[in-house]
Structure 1
């Protein structure tokens, strides 16, 4: 289902060459883009970048030459042509990021540590998946350990979350009326009316196998045996973690999770970890990730340094078949019970939190709920290819983001043929365009108010960038 990450990220950059890069689109991808550029930069050993210098300052936030070059090189590596303005566009967006962060601090906008940790973990899990979940290959490729990557980009991700939250405050209440949508469409020149390829909107409902008590007990016994080997036989925790732990983010570091704050972990893990004394190990602790054997290394107030061994119960064919049967029953209920819509079934039964949060609606990397047929993963394409609007697929297997096995069904909400846009078939998308235009207007107005009140300095090497002219009215004092 997913377009390659860099293709999706670069698609929006290459197609937004207006005075202001559409903030709503930008921040749908900024966290992925941040980490993508950082990781890409780590592998640029063969390309020597300029000695790092300050390219710009917004308030007390700086933009480094390397920030610009990292993103620029990531874009160029994907065969995006530079018409001479690409670095200017990258810097324009980085300046806006810093402006959001500066204002967020003035307005006392907060981002919790657990939110930062969760975002980093989610992004690293995605990139780790590109290496088949092999943490050793991932680390060898980028020349850094997972912990080093997490700590190196923690503050950058925190800043992006702050900026994202600030942007939401500025743009969160924007809406447009049907009359405004119609007026916009009616005023479009005929040669500017969009042409849409064949597209599809999909909803998803997913069911995971339920682990049996026997499987859970087996995992607990395995962890207890490892604990005994460490306590009674003197074996090394780190060595056993590297051999047995199924946490790709820490296994190669001997299970080491580094220094973390209270609130960083899921409640079950945290409750057990904070009860331990330095050097002490827990009993097997169950969380949504599996079972953990935790050892506390150090504690400083509400900060702990711990390590763990994670083992996940293995799904048997019996549990997989039971999940399939349950999902098939849910599908039958939707088809026969007129009061049970697919969206209601998602809310009631779905066990994939990502898609459940959107009512089952899936989104493309560009942020649209519409997928062009050539964007869809082949395994999904052949499942939904012959379905019409309102039809539901048969259950098919897939893997959730954490690698666990599950089954899902798809519902075709919308299916379009190639056509020139019209209000009847494309009202929601045209409304989205009008909303984005309004967001641009509101954002530019906000920037025009904030820029003169904010200290801004841009290195003279970017003096010829037309897209940066709006920043030149910043306070120089």
Structure 2
């Protein structure tokens, strides 16, 4: 920044942003609180970021009006570096993450109207702000990957890091279970399937005749709770995020006035309304109905599974073979029945380990006190597709809760050591970047114990 630019900034610096031509105190609409290089941070940005953090249940360290402006300033430094490094953003990824985040936020607060009330702006503005934030985050991720992504430590360095950690600072590893499962799907009576299809055909007729809108029917009738509250709207998505049967129909549609034929998937039966296409992304609405399974069919499935369990207990067949040849669970039958943890943001993701709170609730109620090698009695559970199935569970391994240690939790310690090394490199880089960047902070916002030195010059 040249001297003249600095002089102009210092005239405006820490001033209020006014409505043009009106200078009374009541007309102040915002306030500049930080200047970082050529970028300003407004008080409204701090408030907006605070709402975002709270919405995501993230931790605010200390005074939010110290912590948040510093975080925003750090983002400005990384974005400046992204320009220097010519980091590029994939807009398709931004759009996909945007729709996922909008859907998550809407589900969290209960409706679009409540989301608009929370942020104090219409959905279109929320969407655009989030799009900009996600685009910026991809740029920041690109910088961090380029400069700090290739951290690698030797086993001796990892052990040295472990030995340097005070014992009371080691993380507690919750108890985990490793499970195998065999399921049997009860037979769905044909008359139940016919009844569901008749209802969906009636919904299509109501939309085509103008008696009801698709969104109203979805809100009242759809059994997909995640989209029903939004009038059946799924948000912009790629083909790969949908099951093939659904995706094949949706991505062949292009007329919002047309309703699809009935589509059967593992979740049940759907009708689909095309909404909008943006490149590789498509937005849609759908109504999902699931055939009801009579108790008699559930009981029959339990009896069938009980005979399989008896064969396993009598050693006529192994649990692994029973899973391979008899299980209806497509995710585990080719893996000897071993369940894999797909929980988001879990340290156990991608492994066969589950903390009790990461398990399907129906399974968690059954396995809590079971011993290693024990096989449960058959029970009815709702699977990941929302279907009722009969199941038996075997406890393959039980890992009791404990303080992390280098022998049993090497990968966790390794991740901690690499993360610590990466953070150290990032801290050094940021302090150097701060030193070489013009920064000005409103005096009322300077009374903080900032994480990084050099902000106040």
TM-score by length of 2: 0.61
- Alpha-carbon distance in structure 2 between the residues aligned to 1:334 and 1:442: 56
Instruction: Report the count of equivalent residues.
Output: 407
Q: 1:198-209 to 2 correspondence within 5 Å?
A: 199-203=174-178, 209=185
Greater RCO (Cα-Cα under 8 Å, separation 6 or more): 1
Q: 1:421-432 to 2 correspondence within 5 Å?
A: 422-432=405-415
1:375 to 1:250, Cα distance in 2 relative to 1, 3 A: closer
Superposition RMSD in Å: 5.8
Deviations, residues 201-222 of structure 1 (Å, cap 9, x unaligned) = 2345566848858355543332
- Alpha-carbon distance in structure 1 between the residues aligned to 2:152 and 2:405: 20
Deviations, residues 153-206 of structure 1 (Å, cap 9, x unaligned) = 6424555466556655655543433212322334456xx454676831234556
In the other structure, the counterpart of 2:446 is 463
Pairwise CA distance, 1:375? 10
Q: 1:65-464 to 2 correspondence within 5 Å?
A: 65-70=46-51, 85-97=63-75, 106-110=86-90, 111-112=92-93, 115-116=96-97, 119-120=100-101, 123-124=104-105, 127=108, 151=127, 154-155=130-131, 156-157=133-134, 159-160=136-137, 163=140, 167=144, 172-188=149-165, 192-194=167-169, 199-203=174-178, 209=185, 212=188, 214=190, 215-232=192-209, 234-248=211-225, 250-251=227-228, 254-255=231-232, 260=236, 266=242, 268-269=246-247, 271-272=249-250, 275-287=253-265, 289-296=267-274, 307-315=285-293, 317=295, 318=297, 322=301, 351=331, 360-361=340-341, 367=347, 383-388=366-371, 398-399=381-382, 404-405=387-388, 409=393, 411=395, 413-416=397-400, 422-448=405-431, 459-464=442-447
Pairwise CA distance, 1:66? 0.7
Larger Rg: 2
Structure 1: runs of 5 or more not aligned: 1-49, 353-357
Alignment check: 8 A CA contact 2:184 2:301 kept: no
- Alpha-carbon distance in structure 2 between the residues aligned to 1:367 and 1:108: 30
1:96 to 1:227, Cα distance in 2 relative to 1, 3 A: same
Pairwise CA distance, 1:339? 11
Task: Single out whichever of 59-68 and 364-373 deviates more from structure 2.
Answer: 364-373
Alignment check: 8 A CA contact 1:88 1:468 kept: no
TM-score by length of 1: 0.59
1:360 to 1:295, Cα distance in 2 relative to 1, 3 A: closer
Alignment check: 8 A CA contact 2:260 2:271 kept: yes
Alignment check: 8 A CA contact 2:222 2:289 kept: yes
1:240 to 1:173, Cα distance in 2 relative to 1, 3 A: same
1:236 to 1:414, Cα distance in 2 relative to 1, 3 A: closer
Alignment check: 8 A CA contact 1:245 1:309 kept: yes
Alignment check: 8 A CA contact 2:373 2:394 kept: no
Pairwise CA distance, 1:227? 1.8
- Alpha-carbon distance in structure 2 between the residues aligned to 1:378 and 1:186: 38
Pairwise CA distance, 1:293? 2.7
1:391 to 1:303, Cα distance in 2 relative to 1, 3 A: closer
Deviations, residues 16-55 of structure 1 (Å, cap 9, x unaligned) = xxxxxxxxxxxxxxxxxxxxxxxxxxxxxxxxxx965455
Alignment check: 8 A CA contact 1:388 1:412 kept: no
